[in-house]
Structure 1
């Protein structure tokens, strides 16, 4: 009998096309609900997100902090083109959280 656990596949949470004050609480809840025992990595897939205001970034940062408190790695997949990546860079979130250009990059990051 093999007692070693196999590699755990990251949980992917696909975020909505637009994240703002009207849905930032739902985005936080969507991310927070997967932060469970046994989960090692969560990838927030924002490759289809074309708009994210500061309230959305704040919700994602709160989820990132919640994940870290549970020893869960959280990564973002954000297209290099467009305003979402720029907002993350301007606010400084891209320096705090791992941000990858594609979902595949985020999934394969070590």
Structure 2
């Protein structure tokens, strides 16, 4: 399971070091639960994630779909290099979701876009 931090402006779900078949569904349930709870924005933080297979990409994609349904802005924070970044790029993730280099940048972008 991921670590959750909620503030007045957003919820942040920090992914564990590895995301695969063993924990992907639980992490997706956390993300959807946060979105359904009425948070104003969501950040998925993968900076500490060192392995992410298709289950991790599934979490991000389904979270984005739910966020879009609810009208909730969502940002994904990817590590600057490594296998998680590479898998995300090969899968075309940066074309489908907002990507930030760190949580602070994602929070700044959300604050700038807030009404």
TM-score by length of 1: 0.86
Where is the helix percentage greater, Structure 1 or Structure 2?
2
Q: 1:50-102 CA distances to partner (integer Å, 9 max, x unpaired)?
A: 11001210122111101110001111111111111111110011210011111
Partner of 1:93: 93
Partner of 2:61: 61
After superposition, the Cα gap between the structure-2 partners of 1:83 and 1:9, relative to the gap in structure 1 and judged at 3 Å, is same
Are the counterparts in 2 of residues 27 and 60 from structure 1 also a CA contact under 8 Å? no
Cα distance in 2 between the residues matched to 1:30 and 1:38:
13
Matches within 5 A, 1:68-79: 68-79=68-79
TM-score by length of 2: 0.83
Cα distance in 2 between the residues matched to 1:87 and 1:96:
14
Are the counterparts in 2 of residues 13 and 31 from structure 1 also a CA contact under 8 Å? yes
What is the CA-CA distance between 1:37 and the residue it aligns to? Answer: 5.7
Cα distance in 1 between the residues matched to 2:41 and 2:48:
20
Could you tell me which runs of 5 or more consecutive residues in structure 1 were left unpaired when the two chains were aligned. Answer: 1-7
Could you tell me which runs of 5 or more consecutive residues in structure 2 were left unpaired when the two chains were aligned. Answer: 1-7
- When the two chains are superposed, the root-mean-square deviation of aligned CA atoms in Å is 1.3
Partner of 1:4: none
Cα distance in 1 between the residues matched to 2:57 and 2:38:
26
Cα distance in 2 between the residues matched to 1:54 and 1:73:
23
Tell me how many residue pairs correspond in the alignment: 103
4+ runs of 1 displaced by more than 6 Å?
none
Cα distance in 2 between the residues matched to 1:27 and 1:11:
14
